[in-house]
Amino acid sequence: MNMEMNELREKEITERYHTGVLLARLMAASGLSDSQIEELMDPDTHLSDSDAPCIRACCDRILQAAQNKEKVFIGGDYDADGICSTAIMKKTLDLLGIVSGYYIPDRFREGYGLSEKTVRLAHEKGYSLIITVDNGIKAYEAVSCAKQLGMDVIITDHHRIDVLPEADLIVHPDYMEEQFAYLSGAGVALEISRKLIGNDDSLTALAAVAAIGDVMPLWRETRKIVLNGLDSMKRGVPAPLCALLYTPGKADWTSVAFQIVPKLNSVGRMNDLSNVNTVVRYLLLNDRDEISRFASQLEHVNTVRKQLSASMTKEAEKMVTGEPFEIIFKDTFHEGICGLAAGRLASSLHKPVLIMAEAEGMIKGSGRSIPGFDMFAFFSDFEELQAFGGHEQAVGLSVRREDLASFIEHAQRKFSETVIEEIPDTQRLVPLRADEITFENISSLEQIALYPKEMNDILFELKDPVILSRYDTAKVTKLVIEADEDTADVVIYASKGIRVPEDPRRICGRLSINRWRQSVRCQIDAESVE
């Protein structure tokens, strides 16, 4: 959409939906349809109930298990979505009086998803029904094993379906009403729970955290789940999630994404410090003292994870070879941090990076790609690989130590023959004038409580700002600029690696109102300064 068309669309949105000029500008630039805008402006956030056949059949089978006093086993996953999914299903079964157990596999020793070993152990302990959450749609061998042992299997998942496993029931957004198309794994579990026990604000909050952690599209039922979940957390429900926030009662997309989700995910990565299965128990706690103690432990694990990630990234930076595809190996690297470090280097170097460590007698690594290069397809035919998985932009793999040199040589040779499709910078910008930086205009941006990705990826661009003062610290640079009849702040965090020139001619970022103690200021959170 060109600038002239954007201006026409902006005017149309302002008049039709009575929005502020800046909000209308964002909507126009995002290309949202009228139906999408109406959804964003709709004040009705009441949750819907799915009446899909797969939901009904699943609930009938669970109620049958309750009636027959069967033991039910929950197979979970080690990321935020999988942990929250497990907690939702566990509490639901507890409230139905069903004897249940759960297990989330060790990320590194056991890998992703339900395994045959876990199935056999569950069978030995008398479980007759297995319910997977946030996984299972590709657990072909494990499901087949369960069926051979006479166990029933219900798969609840949201990942892409290729070939269906031999499960008794599959509950998946593909088999549900259109309203539920963007559910996370925990969102699927929540729909089952709501059908069985009704609304539970604490479980909705868990599904909200999961949706944010899995970066699900914030539309339809998922949008309502997140809005309701954030509202519950603002009221302090549930206490275990709220204890992970730095400021109690301040729950929004940003605080959940950067304060809660990393702490949940860190446990799966730092298996030498913690066990991810204990987090499910934590999320269902009611005792304030226990919650406080466990929250402190999660904070510690995440702090160690951040420290390791920073130090390992610095060490890996020193080992950069200059090859078009960076493959970095050090036996003392932490297996759980390889992916984080690879992601940071890939972003800063603008090329694919694979970082590898020694673990349990194997060389294991995580790779992160760049737009235009399908890393999963690239490695899919490597005979040296002992284990392999992932997707286009991220992979995990392992090789024997004796195969490492030939593997690296193979990768570098193949990459030298690979043509990468250049993906142009698609960062979208909308113009911003200094006289538009007002409390009224920025407040209008808050008419929408939760931005979808289509709007959140757009930055405001302020050209030729009048800089009145500058303040530099180790963590932040703050510029005070001329704005309308007052001044505004531009905040540039050092962690973003933005070099701030003495006389910036262009600032791109997001607008907010900073309320701190008795001070209320218009603010630009900068993403680039030139």
- The most confident of 75-84, 106-115, 157-166, 384-393, by mean pLDDT: 75-84
At residue 162, the 3 state secondary structure works out as coil
Alpha helices in 134-184 (DSSP H): 140-148
pLDDT band at 424 (very low <50, low <70, confident <90, very high): low
pLDDT (0 to 100) of residue 498? 86
* Residue 487: φ, ψ to 5°: -120, 165
- Is the per-residue pLDDT at 193 higher than 70? yes
pLDDT band at 324 (very low <50, low <70, confident <90, very high): very high
pLDDT band at 485 (very low <50, low <70, confident <90, very high): confident
Mean pLDDT of the chain: 93
Alpha helices in 136-276 (DSSP H): 140-148, 185-197, 201-213, 220-234, 239-242, 253-255, 261-269
Distance CA 259, CA 213 (A): 11
Percent of the chain with pLDDT over 70: 98
pLDDT (0 to 100) of residue 273? 83
CB atoms < 10 A from the CB of 209, how many? Answer: 28
Concatenating the DSSP letter of every residue in 402-431 gives: GGHHHHHHHHHHHHHTPPPPP------EEE
> Mean pLDDT across the stretch 282-299?
97
Q: pLDDT higher for 129 or 6?
A: 129
Q: Number of helices (H) and strands (E), helices first, in the chain? A: 20, 17
pLDDT band at 322 (very low <50, low <70, confident <90, very high): very high
Q: What are the chain's domains?
A: 53-229 (3.90.1640.30), 319-416 (3.10.310.30), 426-529 (2.40.50)
Distance CA 381, CA 388 (A): 10
Distance CA 278, CA 271 (A): 12
> Mean pLDDT across the stretch 97-111?
91
Concatenating the DSSP letter of every residue in 245-264 gives: SSSTT---HHHIIIIIHHHH
